[in-house]
Every structure is written in structure tokens, then in C-alpha cells.
């Protein structure tokens, strides 16, 4: 019988952390091996399954060495600075990492890529299978609608999200720009106010909505003359992200190094 995959979870007491723990506990081939939180968190010392009404025997800790001591893979959906600290610890211990954190700067992305030369890292702004299929659809749509269509990316998330546009929206923009032979840094428009003049047809626009408990909605609008095409994905639960992250953990487990994304996990490359 194959031994279960030993997975640790960062941000264990947060909304996503609890969902990840539940997904790990529900996976027949996985075992919760560690649970991390920031220093001062009221959850420190508690059983990682307490919020789910389950006893796991894994105590939430801010000690990276202790939290990673049994882990093969760490799943991290926290903040950039915390993720990079966890990455350094994973690199030192040879623990693979699944990163769902968004809002990284370019130098921080380069730091992740450098670490991936030493341990396996799977990074994606969105772990939903549906979102990643949508990215492939956008690639094909952009190539077919490369003339006469204005492109807008519209995203909505809950009031607690701290970065904008979402990492998923930015990834959609990257896919669109690449398919059109453009540089997103040069053609993206993130805000419109006042007298903006006519829309530049070479731009890709972004609109951001924040409110309530919206899990995550993304729409890409291709607006032509006399018609428009909208490709939309709506998340009603974080379960799909957690299940995708566990799937990604299976993918990186046992790999010695490399930087991967969901295209690799889903065979969409």
C-alpha cells in the first residue's frame, strides 16, 4: 500500500487555510502533516481541525521547522512576504511547494523561479480546473478575434481581497496579450476617469469589483461592431481551489526541482 502524501498547510486558520485542510483530510491518498500560522495568531496551539469539528493531532504552529518537519509538500495561499519566508524554509528542507498566493512583484517572482532550481514549486493564481480551461479558451478566442474587437477583463471578489486586479485577471491578460503578440505592460489599462478620449483598440482593459462575499467572478468581453462575445467563469465555493491545490501537490511530490503551473498539472501545455 502506498504511503499517503504528507501535506502541510500555511495560513491554517484563515478561510482558505481551513478549506485546504478539509480538502487534505478528505483526500484518501493524503495526510495532514503540518499547519502554519503567523506569530501572535489566536489559533496557535489549537488542533488544525478544530474549526472543522475534527481532531487531527496536528497543532497549528508558527515554528517553520516544526510545521515542515514531516511534510513532503507545503500548500501556501497567504501573503507574498510570508510565502517567500516559507519558500526559503522549504528550499532548505527539500520540501516541495504549491503557491496560490497572488500579488507578487516581478523581483519576488524571480525569487520564486530561483528557488525552483532547487525544489519543485507549482505556482498559479487560480487552481480551479474551470478557470484553467477558460485560459485555453481565451487563447483561441483572442487569436480568432484579433481584429475589430475590444477586449475587457472584468473581475469581482469579496471585500477582504487586498490586491487588484486579481492574479487570475492578470493571468488572463497575459494569455490574451501573448496570443495577440502584445506586451501586457504596454497595453493594459487599469483605470479610467475623466476625459479619457476614445478607446485605443490595442489596449486590454481591466475592471475591478470588490464587495460582500463574492468568491471570484471573471469575465472577458470581446466587443465588436454588432456583436460581443463574453467568456465567464464564476466560483461559488473555494472548494474547487482547494481540490485543485491538492491535485497540484500530488503533481510536485517526488519532483526534485522545477517551476510548474496548472497547465502542467492538467496536461494543457
Task: Name the residues annotated as catalytic.
Answer: 157, 161
Candidates 96, 77, 32; CA nearest to 245 is 77
Cα–Cα distance for residue pair 102/227, rounded to 1 Å: 34
DSSP secondary structure letter of residue 47: B
The beta strands (E) that lie in the chain are given as 5-10, 30-36, 60-61, 73-76, 96-99, 120-123, 150-157, 188-189, 204-210, 216-223, 228-235, 258-260
Give the three-state DSSP class for 132.
helix
Candidates 43, 113, 101, 105; CA nearest to 77 is 101
Amino acid at each position: 500500500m502506498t504511503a499517503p502524501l504528507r501535506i502541510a498547510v500555511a495560513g491554517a486558520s484563515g478561510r482558505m487555510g481551513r478549506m485546504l485542510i478539509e480538502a487534505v483530510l478528505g483526500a484518501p491518498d493524503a495526510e495532514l502533516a503540518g499547519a502554519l500560522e503567523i506569530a501572535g495568531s489566536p489559533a496557535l496551539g489549537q488542533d488544525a481541525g478544530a474549526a472543522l469539528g475534527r481532531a487531527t493531532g496536528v497543532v497549528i504552529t508558527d515554528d517553520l521547522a516544526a510545521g515542515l518537519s514531516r511534510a513532503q509538500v507545503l500548500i501556501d495561499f497567504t501573503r507574498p512576504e510570508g510565502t517567500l519566508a516559507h519558500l526559503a524554509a522549504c528550499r532548505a528542507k527539500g520540501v516541495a511547494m504549491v503557491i496560490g498566493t497572488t500579488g507578487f512583484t516581478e523581483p519576488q517572482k524571480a525569487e520564486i523561479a530561483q528557488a525552483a532550481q532547487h525544489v519543485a514549486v507549482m505556482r498559479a493564481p487560480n487552481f480551479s480546473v474551470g478557470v484553467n480551461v477558460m485560459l485555453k479558451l481565451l487563447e483561441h478566442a483572442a487569436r480568432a478575434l484579433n481584429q475589430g474587437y475590444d477586449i475587457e477583463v472584468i473581475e469581482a471578489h469579496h471585500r477582504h481581497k487586498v490586491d487588484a486586479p486579481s492574479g487570475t485577471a492578470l493571468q488572463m491578460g497575459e494569455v490574451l496579450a501573448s496570443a495577440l503578440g502584445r506586451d501586457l505592460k504596454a497595453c493594459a489599462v487599469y483605470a479610467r476617469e475623466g476625459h479619457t478620449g476614445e478607446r485605443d483598440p490595442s489596449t486590454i482593459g481591466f475592471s475591478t469589483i470588490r464587495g460582500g462575499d463574492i468568491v471570484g467572478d471573471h469575465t472577458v468581453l470581446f466587443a465588436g461592431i454588432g456583436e460581443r462575445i463574453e467568456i465567464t467563469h464564476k466560483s461559488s465555493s473555494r472548494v474547487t481551489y482547494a481540490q485543485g491545490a491538492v491535485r497540484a501537490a500530488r503533481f510536485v511530490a517526488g519532483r526534485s526541482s522545477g517551476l510548474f503551473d496548472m497547465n502542467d498539472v492538467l496536461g494543457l501545455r
